[in-house]
Amino acid sequence: MDISTYDYKLDNGIDLHIISTKKFKTVHFNIFFHRALNKETATFNALLPRVMKRGCQSFNDTIQIERFLEDIYGADFDADVLKKGERQIIGFRLDIVHPKYTGDDTLIDKGLSFLNDIISKPLTVDQGFNQDYVEQEKQNLKDMIEGLINDKAQYAVERCIQEMCKGEPFATYVYGSTDALAGINGDNLYEHYKDVLAGSPVDIFILGDVEPDAIRDKTEAIFNWPRGTVKKIPKEIIKKAITEPKEVIERMDVLQGKLSLGLRTDTAPDDTAYPVLMLYASILGGGPQSKLFLNVREKASLAYYAYARLEKYKGLMIISSGIEIENYKKALDIMLEQLDEMKRGAISSQELDFSKKALATSLRSIMDSPQQLTDYYLGNAILKKHSTVDQLIESINAAQMDQVVEIAQRINLDTIYFLANKAMKGVEKI
C-alpha cells in the first residue's frame, strides 16, 4: 500500500508534512518545536510541555482534558521533549482512531483544534502560567531526572555520554537538571513559552488516511498564531581529537556491572558515508549476527546483552553490556578486540551480507509503524533532505567491504565507563 508525502509551508512559516496512507486504523498528529540543546534552557524546555498539557483556556483542568480524550475514542495525547543531537525538540502528539471506524466525522477537526488550544491558548494568570501546575510539574520533573538511576543500563549509557562530552552541549540531559529547577517560576516559564512559540522552527506531521489539500487548509486555518524571527539551530561539532581514552568507574550498590564505551565516529548524518557507518555499527553490534553478540555473549558467556548503537546527529557510537563485576577487564578486552578486528578488516563476507539484510529488514519495518515513519521524516526535515527508506537501503546495499574498513579507521574510543559496586577492587589503567 502506498505511502505518499506532501510538504507545505503554511502562511506563518510552519512546515507541514502530510504522510498519506490507508494502511492504519488511526490518524497521527505530531507538532515539533526545535530548540538548541544547552544547559541554560534544557530544563525550561523539559518543563514547558509538562505544564502545557495540564490545561488550556478551553479545558481548564486536567480532568477535563482526560475526559475529552476518552470521549473521542481514547485519543492518545502526550507532550514531551526529545533529544536529537544537540537539538532539544518539544513535541506534542495526538493519535486518534480514524473516523471511519467510529462514525464520528468530526474527530479530525476536534483533534486539530484541541492541539492548537493546548499550544496557543494556555492557562495563564496575569503574565504567567498557573503556579500550582508549575510547582507540581517541577516536582514531577525532579523525580524524573533523579529517577534516571532506576534503570541502570540507561543510566550507564547516559553517564558515559556525559563524561565523554563534558563541555559540549550534547552532555546535557534531555530533561535538564534539578539545580536549574529552583530558578523556574510561572512568570519566567511563560516568557520562555512566548519565545518558543514565536522563535522556534516548527514542523507539523499528519499521518493517516487523509486528503492532503483539505487537511492543509484546515491546519493553516487553525494553527494561525503569529510568529517572530525564527532562530536557526546550530550544527553539531562532530570532529574531536582524542589523545587517550578516559576511564571512569562509578560505584553503586548493584549486583551487575554495566559497561558502556563511548566512541567518536567522525561522521556526520549528512556525510555520504553515513550509510556505511550504519553498516559498520550493525556488523559490530547490531543484533544476533554481530561481533559483540557472538563474542561477548555466545562465545564467552559473559553477558545477556551486548550491543552497539549510533547517536546519529552527534556522530557518536555507544557500546553497552551488563556483566559480572569481576569480568570487567575480560569483557572490555573482548570489546576492544572486536573494534580492532573491524579496523583490521577482519570481517567476513557473510558478516557483511547478514548485516545488510538485517538493516534492510529493520528499515523496511519503519513503514509499518506510524511513530517510526514520523520519526524518519522528522530526520529528513532536520537534515533538509528528501530521501526515502528504499533509497537508504539501496545505499547500504551498495556499500563495499573496503568502505566499511575505511570507516573503521575514523572510529576512536573516547570514554570507558563502568558502573561497579563497592566490592570491586581497584583496577589497573588500560
Partner 1 sequence: MTVIENSAIEEIIYKYKMDNGLTVYIMPKPGYTKQFAIYATNYGSNDIKFLDGKHREPVEVPYGIAHFLEHKLFEEQGGSIFERFSALGAQANAFTNFNMTAYLFSSTNKFYDCLNLLLDFVNRPYFTDENVEKEKGIIAQEIRMYEDNPAWRVYFNLLGALYKNYPVKNDIAGTVESITGITKEQLYLCYETFYHPNNMAIFMIGDIDKEQAIDTVKQSFADKNIPKRGDVKRIYPDEPADVAQALVTQQLEVAIPMFYIGFKDSDIGMSGNKLMKKDIVTGVLLNMLIGKSSDTYQSLYEDGLINATFEKDYTGEINYGFSLMGGESQQPLKVQDRIMEAINKYKQSGLNVNDLDRVKRKMLGDFLMSLNRIDSIASVYIAAAFKDINLIDYPKVLDEVRISDVEERLRQHFDEKYCAISIIEPKK
Q: Which of residues 64-83 bind partner 1 (CB under 8 A)?
A: 66-67, 69-76
In 299-411 the beta strands, taken as DSSP E runs, fall at 303-311, 316-324
Q: How far is CA 120 from CA 196, 198, 397, in A?
A: 11, 11, 45
Task: Kindly state the smallest distance separating residue 113's Cβ from partner 1, in Å.
Answer: 18
Residues 347-386 that bind partner 1 (CB under 8 A): 350, 353-354, 357-358, 360-362, 364-365, 367-370
Among 287, 352, 381, 424, the residue binding partner 1 under the rule CB under 8 A is 287
Q: How far is the CB of 116 from partner 1 (least distance, A)?
A: 21
Q: Cell digits for 219?
A: 491546519
Q: Cell 498557573, residue? A: 130
> Is the Cβ of residue 57 or residue 139 nearer to partner 1 in the bound state?
139
27-66 residues near partner 1, rule: CB under 8 A: 61-63, 66
Alpha carbon distance 340, 337 (integer Å): 5
The minimum distance between CB 118 and partner 1, in angstroms, equals 16
Considering only residues 80 through 109, tell me which ones interact with partner 1, judged by CB under 8 A. 95-97, 101-102
- Grid coordinates standing for 423? 566490592
Q: Which is nearer to partner 1, 165 or 334 (CB)?
A: 334
Least distance in angstroms from the C-beta of 117 to partner 1: 18
Between residues 63 and 242, which has the closer beta carbon with respect to partner 1? 63
What's the closest the beta carbon of residue 66 comes to partner 1, in angstroms? 4
Q: Which residues between 218 and 257 bind partner 1 (CB under 8 A)?
A: 252-256
**Is the Cβ–Cβ distance between 102 and 73 less than 8 Å?**
yes
Rounded to 5 degrees, φ, ψ at 65 are -65, -50
| Beta pairing, strands 128-129 & 87-97 | unpaired
Question: DSSP 3-state assignment of 124?
Answer: strand
Q: Where are the alpha helices (DSSP H) in 273-315?
A: 274-285, 291-292
> Shortest approach of partner 1 to residue 281 CB, angstroms?
15
Q: Does 136 bind partner 1 (CB under 8 A)?
A: yes
C-alpha pair distances (Å), 269 with each of 34, 263, 277, 280, 363: 17, 15, 9, 14, 16
Phi, psi of 278, rounded to the nearest 5 degrees: -60, -40
- The binding track of 297-336 with respect to partner 1, each residue x by CB under 8 A or -, is xx--xxxxx----------------xxx------------
Window of 37-45, 122-130, 221-229, 286-294 that interacts with partner 1 by CB under 8 A? 286-294
The distance in angstroms from the start CA to the end CA of the chain is 54
Judged by CB under 8 A, the stretch of 24-32, 118-126, 228-236, 410-418 that binds partner 1 is 24-32
**Least CB distance from residue 237 to partner 1, whole Å?**
32
Residues 139-178 that bind partner 1 (CB under 8 A): 139-140, 143-144, 146-153
Residue 270 vs 298, nearer CB to partner 1: 298
The CA–CA distances, whole Å, from 161 to 148, 211, 404 equal 14, 43, 25
Q: Which of 289, 380, 397, 403 binds partner 1 (CB under 8 A)?
A: 289
Smallest gap, in angstroms, from Cβ of residue 79 to partner 1? 11
Site size toward partner 1, by CB under 8 A = 71
Give min distance, CB of 323 to partner 1, in A: 7
b/e map of 45-55 (b: 16 or more CB within 10 Å)?
bbbbbbbbbbb
- Tell me the window of 18-26, 188-196, 198-206, 263-271 that interacts with partner 1 (CB under 8 A): 18-26
* Residue 5: count of CB within 10 angstroms of its CB: 17
DSSP letter string over 341-357?
HHHHT---HHHHHHHHH
